[in-house]
């Protein structure tokens, strides 16, 4: 029989979302099918923008005619989209990232894992704690995590984030080769300042580390002084890869499109010490293992950069952020400590009374009829917290928060 990748065996069964679903359905059964408001889902609820829909219709028509039909596209993405990204997301903001540095993807999640093809198997990987679980799980599958003891993997370097450090990771003592940073952060909802991120860029430059900067939620940044792109920090283009997505920016979670920036200035070395550009390696990897994102999805993504698209992005992200702010205010009112929500659709809340995440989850489910995500699912430092999301209708958000206030105030 085939010998399989033993690392899968090490991977703990991801029970977070299935357990949330199981508890919700148990509650419904006990309460005659009572309606539950889902405040736990990290998925958009609003439809695609009208001009994005039009662009997709046009793209389909193009594929329907033999005169304009297209088959395989460039593995790196179509230049109409790479150019639009370079212009709007970088050049317009004074950042020298060009189309040749940008690779179109089918979303952020795939490339977060795919990048593991580029750095050495021996790399020591640093992750924030709590964190979006994909960074840890990818490291386990690729055999970089070591052994699991008390919720921590022996070869991972954990960057613990809590109220004492304002949820900002502190530079590690040990040398980290690859550092996953995510801002605005899922799950804490906190965003990072130029000064704080500048320390990480300095660290990476000094140590020769790579930062993989997940900025899937950059469109939610509102405050001045808060980072949208790591390349706003001088010298970051020599140490960082940035991962972006149209999922939360423009409602593409089902459509699938994102991009990964691998600046041509970013260098690594082979085992014999000879230098190589990561852009060239990534290009080689993509042309071997990827055949490009769908033409229709790329046309849709390009429409996001039209004046109409950009104003819809603002409107949609404002809407979700307004929900987040309603959530944060309500939780603060009943005496919880609540974080995030200002440059992010996520609110991170703790009862501050030693209740664990699942206890808080169950209490809110049974007392208020809404679901949350237990923070412990995002790492050991998530224990005692719940994550709430602004991805909902205003009506649902207001109803859930009225129930909270009625029950606890």
Applying CB under 6 A, which residues contact ligand PLP? Answer: 42, 107-109, 132, 182, 186, 214, 216, 245, 247, 253, 258
User: The tokens of 242 are what?
Assistant: 């940035």
Q: What distance in Å separates the CA atoms of residue 322 and residue 396, rounded to the nearest whole number?
A: 13
Which CA distances in Å does 310 have to 45, 172, 305? 18, 38, 6
Buried b vs exposed e over 3-33: b needs ≥16 C-beta within 10 Å?
Answer: eeeeeeeeeeeeebeeebeebbeebeeeeee
CB of 139 to ligand PLP, least distance (A): 15
Shortest separation between residue 28's beta carbon and ligand PLP, angstroms: 25
Would you say 252 or 282 has its CB closer to ligand PLP? 252
CB of 42 to ligand PLP, least distance (A): 5
Choose between 76 and 351: whose C-beta lies nearer to ligand PLP: 76
Locate 219 and state its tokens: 């469109």
Taking the least distance from each CB to ligand PLP, the nearer of 103 and 368 is 103
Beta strands (DSSP E) in 42-106 are 102-105
User: Least distance to ligand PLP from the beta carbon of 258, Å?
Assistant: 4
Query: Tokens in use for 289?
Result: 């293992």
Alpha helices in 86-193 (DSSP H): 108-114, 134-141
> CA-CA distances (angstroms) from residue 195 to 69, 226, 261?
49, 9, 22
DSSP E strands, 172-270: 178-182, 210-214, 240-245, 258-261, 267-269
Neighbours of 121 (CB within 10 A): 8
CB of 305 or CB of 404, closer to ligand PLP: 305
Measured from the CB atom, the residue of 247 and 397 that comes closer to ligand PLP is: 247
Of 90 and 220, nearer to ligand PLP (C-beta) is 220
Contacts of 48 (CB under 8 A, 6+ apart): 56, 250, 251, 252, 255, 300
The least CB distance from residue 184 to ligand PLP, in Å, is 9
> From the CB of 214, what's the least distance to ligand PLP, in Å?
5
Nearest to 390 by CA among 40, 17, 35, 37: 40
86 and 102 Cβ atoms separated by less than 8 Å: yes
Identity of the residue, 108 or 179, whose beta carbon is nearer to ligand PLP in the bound complex: 108
* Choice between 130 and 258, CB closer to ligand PLP: 258
**Residue linked to tokens 């719940």:** 386
Q: How far apart are CA 190 and CA 202, in angstroms?
A: 21
User: Minimum CB separation from ligand PLP for residue 293, in Å?
Assistant: 11
**Nearest approach, Cβ of 148 to ligand PLP (angstroms)?**
22
In the complex, minimum distance from the CB of residue 186 to ligand PLP, in angstroms, rounded to a whole number: 4
Q: In this complex, which beta carbon is closest to ligand PLP, that of residue 349 or of residue 404?
A: 349
> Between residues 42 and 73, which has the closer beta carbon with respect to ligand PLP?
42
Tokens of 207: 């140590």
Q: How far is the CB of 108 from ligand PLP (least distance, A)?
A: 3
Q: Cis peptide leading into 60, omega within 30 of 0?
A: no
């Amino acid at each position: 029989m085939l010998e399989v990748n033993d690392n899968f065996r090490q991977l703990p069964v991801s029970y977070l979302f299935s357990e949330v679903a199981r508890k919700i359905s148990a509650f419904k059964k006990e309460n005659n099918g009572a309606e539950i408001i889902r405040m736990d889902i990290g998925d958009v609820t609003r439809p695609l923008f009208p001009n994005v829909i039009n662009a997709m219709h046009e793209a389909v028509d193009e594929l329907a005619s033999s005169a304009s039909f297209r088959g395989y596209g460039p593995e790196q993405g179509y230049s109409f989209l790479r150019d639009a990204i370079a212009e709007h997301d970088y050049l317009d903001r004074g950042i020298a990232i060009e189309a040749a540095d940008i690779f179109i993807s089918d979303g952020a999640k795939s490339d977060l894992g795919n990048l593991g093809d580029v750095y050495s198997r021996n790399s020591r990987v640093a992750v924030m704690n709590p964190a979006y679980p994909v960074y840890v799980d990818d490291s386990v599958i690729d055999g970089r995590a070591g052994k699991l003891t008390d919720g921590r993997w022996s070869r991972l370097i954990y960057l613990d984030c809590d109220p004492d450090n304002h949820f900002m990771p502190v530079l590690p003592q040990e040398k980290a080769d690859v550092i996953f940073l995510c801002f605005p952060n899922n799950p804490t909802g906190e965003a990072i300042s130029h000064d704080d991120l500048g320390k990480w860029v300095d660290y990476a430059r000094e140590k020769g580390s790579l930062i993989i900067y997940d900025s899937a939620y950059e469109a939610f940044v509102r405050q001045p002084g808060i980072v949208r792109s790591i390349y706003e920090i001088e010298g970051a283009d020599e140490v960082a890869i940035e991962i972006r997505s149209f999922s939360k920016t423009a409602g593409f979670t089902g459509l699938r499109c994102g991009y990964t920036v691998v600046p041509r200035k970013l260098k690594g070395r082979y085992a014999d010490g000879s230098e190589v550009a990561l852009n060239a390696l990534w290009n080689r990897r993509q042309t071997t293992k990827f055949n490009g994102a769908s033409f229709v999805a790329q046309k849709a993504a390009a429409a996001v950069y039209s004046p109409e698209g950009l104003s819809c992005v603002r409107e949609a992200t404002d809407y979700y952020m307004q929900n987040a702010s309603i959530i944060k205010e309500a939780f603060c009112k009943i005496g919880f400590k609540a974080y995030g929500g200002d440059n992010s659709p996520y609110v991170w809340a703790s009862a501050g009374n030693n209740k664990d995440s699942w206890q808080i989850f169950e209490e809110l489910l049974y007392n208020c009829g809404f679901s949350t995500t237990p923070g412990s699912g995002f790492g050991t430092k998530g224990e005692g917290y719940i994550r709430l999301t602004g991805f909902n209708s205003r009506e649902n958000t207001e109803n859930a928060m009225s129930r909270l206030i009625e029950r606890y105030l």
